């Protein structure tokens, strides 16, 4: 690994380089679970062999990329999953770009990258690719009604992983506990988005929202925000203090339904629809 001081290098445990390569191979086959397992093994090896602050930072970032890619893939967001996978694979390739020289006495690997004639061109190309990806993701930052709370908690859990880096004796048990919580969060989010998609598809097929619960109505809004981030951001940015039902009304209008049809979908009177419009106009920016 490059240590950031005058191009000098630090040793990387040989077991770590093997884990990196196996994680990269798993990502090439879209085996996110296998890639996560290999990165967790790499983090454990680095935590034992290196200083924790040097060992865990990059590995935790790659693991976070893989976890996010898996979440996108689970809800069939292929383009976003592929983009996050590309970021993780790019970082893994940068760690495994050179053939390692194994020290038979210590089992460590010295990556002689800084002196290689292709180092700086490869670094420049990686930076260009990273900048291009960052510019792409800036365009979709406003869709986060569906995933923002989950993403924030996942980030906090990964920060907690960083905070326990000095507790190496109980490290594996703590990582397992945190990963279990992450898995529960992802499962809950996927279930909520799946329920919202069912309601969305039913409405497009002429269905209604009769007797819908507050939780299911929120799932419908979250799915629309997830699947139509730019439209949702544009609609909600025009108003302040939108209620759950007013947000649903806005989405139904954006889907092309007339007030009469919306009245039938929501099972409300025409006077209620007029009241929605009146209150929303008062809250218009």
Q: Does 176 have pLDDT greater than 80?
A: no
Q: Greatest CA span in the chain, whole angstroms? A: 83
Out of 29-33, 38-42, 135-139, 271-275, least confident range: 135-139
For residues 210 and 204, give the distance between their C-alpha atoms in angstroms, rounded to a whole number: 15
- Give residue 270's pLDDT: 93
pLDDT above 80 for 95:
no
Highest mean pLDDT among 170-174, 192-196, 255-259: 255-259
Residues 247, 252: Cα–Cα separation, whole Å: 9
- Residues 71-80: what's their mean pLDDT? 83
Low-confidence winner among 132-141, 176-185, 188-197, 268-277 (lowest mean pLDDT): 132-141
248-258 mean pLDDT: 94
92: confidence class by pLDDT, cuts 50, 70, 90: confident
Higher pLDDT, 157 or 242: 242
**Band of the pLDDT at 226, cuts 50, 70, 90?**
very high
Calpha distance 49→54 (Å, rounded): 10
Output 171 or 100, whichever has higher pLDDT: 171
| 51 against 156, higher pLDDT | 156
226-265: burial string, b at 16+ Cβ within 10 Å, e else: bbbbebbbebbeebeebeeebbbbbbbeebebeeeebbeb
**Does 225 or 104 have the greater pLDDT score?**
225
Q: What is the rounded distance in angstroms from the CA atom of residue 261 to the CA atom of residue 206? A: 10
Rg of the chain in Å (alpha carbons) = 24
Query: Given CA atoms 63, 69, 73, 75 in this order, what sign does their dihedral have?
Result: positive
Determine the average pLDDT of the residues in 189-203.
Answer: 90
Q: What is the pTM of this model?
A: 0.38
Q: Whole-number mean pLDDT of the chain?
A: 78
The mean per-residue pLDDT over the stretch 259-281 comes to 93
Mean pLDDT of 138-163: 69
Top mean pLDDT of 87-101, 169-183, 197-211 is at 197-211
pLDDT score for 166:
64
How many CA atoms lie within 13 Å of 56's alpha carbon, on the beta-carbon side?
Answer: 19
Residue 101: its pLDDT value, please?
42
* Per-residue confidence (pLDDT) for residue 144, from 0 to 100: 56
The predicted model gives 246-261 an average pLDDT of: 94
* 29 and 87 Cβ atoms separated by less than 8 Å: no
Q: What is the pLDDT of residue 107?
A: 46
Q: What is the pLDDT of residue 66?
A: 85
Residue 201 has pLDDT above 80, yes or no: yes
Q: Which of 43-47, 142-146, 187-191 has the lowest mean pLDDT?
A: 142-146
């Amino acid at each position: 690994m490059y240590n950031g001081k005058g191009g000098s290098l630090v040793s990387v445990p040989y077991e770590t380089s093997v884990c990196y390569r196996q994680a990269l191979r798993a990502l090439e086959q879209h085996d996110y679970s296998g890639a996560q397992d290999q990165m967790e093994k790499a983090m454990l090896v680095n935590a034992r062999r290196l200083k924790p602050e040097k060992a865990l930072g990059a590995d935790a970032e790659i693991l976070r990329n893989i976890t996010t890619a898996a979440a996108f893939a689970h809800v069939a967001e292929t383009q976003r999953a592929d983009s996050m996978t590309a970021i993780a694979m790019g970082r893994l390739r940068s760690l495994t770009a050179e053939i390692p020289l194994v020290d038979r006495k210590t089992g460590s690997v010295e990556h002689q990258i800084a002196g290689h004639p292709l180092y700086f061109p490869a670094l420049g190309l990686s930076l260009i690719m990273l900048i291009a990806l960052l510019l792409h993701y800036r365009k979709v930052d406003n869709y986060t009604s569906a995933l923002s709370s989950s993403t924030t908690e996942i980030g906090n859990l990964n920060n907690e992983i960083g905070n326990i880096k000095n507790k190496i004796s109980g490290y594996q048990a703590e990582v397992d506990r945190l990963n279990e919580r992450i898995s529960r969060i992802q499962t809950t989010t996927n279930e909520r988005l799946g329920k919202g998609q069912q309601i969305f598809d039913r409405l497009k097929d002429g269905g209604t929202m009769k007797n819908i619960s507050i939780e299911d109505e929120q799932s419908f809004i979250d799915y629309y925000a997830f699947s139509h981030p730019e439209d949702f951001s544009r609609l909600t940015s025009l108003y302040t203090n939108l209620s759950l039902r007013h947000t649903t009304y806005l989405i139904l209008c954006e889907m092309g339904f007339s007030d009469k049809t919306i009245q039938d979908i929501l099972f409300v009177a025409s006077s209620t629809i007029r009241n929605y419009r009146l209150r929303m106009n008062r809250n218009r920016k």
